[in-house]
Structure 1
Amino acid sequence: MQFRSIQMLMVPAILASLSLGLAGCTPSNEMATVPVTGKVTYKGQPLPSGSVIFIASGAGPTADANIGPDGEYSLGTYSESDGVPPGEYNVMVVAMTGEDSIDAEAATGSTSLIPSRYSDPSKSGLTASVKAGEDNEINFDLAE
């Protein structure tokens, strides 16, 4: 009889634990975002492919975007082009031959279209300040 009462207590406890764990996966934990768009150029010409990645300087999510053929991008944090939480960011740009995303870095035989320092947020020298209620058009002109 005592075993049955322990079972009766365990089922609600397990269900409560599961629902608390699932609650942490809901969109309510997502930070508010604002649109961020821009253009990436290299030596004055639009970068035709690649990725732009914004890495929060403090605590916060990372955002990324594919660069279009005209060099333009629109960042997304939780889904494509949904924007970025306001804050300060270190930025990296990855652009490999024949590829349009960060996965290209792992591809064999591909070479970078831009100097390798831009693919390291601590060496790229690229930063961005995203502000709520403002037009966040952030352009990057990459140099040799």
Structure 2
Amino acid sequence: MNGLTRSLAMLGGLALLTTVSGCGGDGLGKRYPVSGTVSYNGEPVPHGNIFFVPDDQNTGRAASGAIEGGRYRLSTAGTNDGAFPGSYKIRIIALEVDNSRVEANMQGGAGRQDDVIAATQAAKKLIPAKYELETTSGLTATVEERSNGFDFDLTD
């Protein structure tokens, strides 16, 4: 194989790898975009995490996303890669954590475990605790084989 042929073969292989990895080539299957908003009593939830837990955990796979300024996008196995089609129960966690003690006592670039636990336990909940578990939140969604949008307006 001469240099030009070898270079063309490498470029073709790279293009194929890029195409496969960009289209769910991880062997998990096709996922669909899911995004939306989360508000509490009409105000955007400033930050937190949202989790889509499949109704059938034996055949489904969870997806999650960070909430920033009331907006989220879901990921299953990669950044913003969406979720699998199916029915989900939703859980949302939104806390205001004071990490000042963790930061003051950092060792080797990491916080001490007891400081992290204490800060998390003392955190202020930004939404009612019932939303922290999919079994008590009362929130559900069905992801379809298309782009999906779900907005959640949480109340007391």
Calculate the TM-score normalised by the size of structure 1: 0.72
User: What is the CA-CA distance between 1:108 and the residue it aligns to?
Assistant: 3.4
Equivalence for 2:127: 114
2:148 counterpart letter in structure 1: N
CA distance in 2, matches of 1:118, 1:31: 29
In structure 2, the partner of 1:40 is 38
C-alpha distance in 2, partners of 1:108/1:115?
15
* Superposed structure 1 runs of 4+ greater than 2 Å apart: none
Q: Match of 1:20?
A: none
Structure 1 position 132, deviation (Å): 0.3
Task: State the Cα distance separating 1:31 from its structure 2 match.
Answer: 2.5
Q: Is the 8 A contact 2:97 2:120 kept in 1?
A: no
Query: Cα offset for 1:80?
Result: 1.9
Instruction: For 1:112 and 1:80, locate their aligned partners in 2 and report how far apart those are by CA, in whole Å.
Output: 26
Determine the structure 2 residue equivalent to 1:129: 142
8 Å Cα contact 2:97/2:122 also seen in 1: no
Code of the residue aligned with 2:96 in structure 1: it is T
Q: What displacement does 1:98 show?
A: 3.4
Alignment of 1:98-109 (within 5 A): 98=97, 107-109=120-122
Cα distance between partner residues in 1 of 2:143 and 2:64 = 14
Give the aligned CA root-mean-square deviation in angstroms: 2.0
TM-superposed CA distance for 1:88, in Å, is 0.3
**Which residues in structure 2 correspond to 1:75-90 (within 5 Å)?**
75-90=74-89
SS at match of 2:130: helix
DSSP-derived class of the 1:85 partner: coil
Contact 2:94 2:126 in 1 (8 A): yes
Amino acid in structure 1 at the alignment position of 2:132: S
Deviations 1:60-93 (A, max 9, x none): 1110000012x00000000121100010000000
Paired residues in the alignment total 112
Q: Secondary structure at the match of 1:27?
A: coil
Q: CA deviation at 1:109?
A: 1.6
Q: Secondary structure at the match of 2:131?
A: helix
Indicate how the Cα distance of structure 1 residues 41 and 57 shifts in structure 2: closer, same or farther if over 3 A, else same: same
1:65–1:80: 8 Å Cα contact kept in structure 2?
no
Gaps of 5+ in 2: 1-24, 99-115
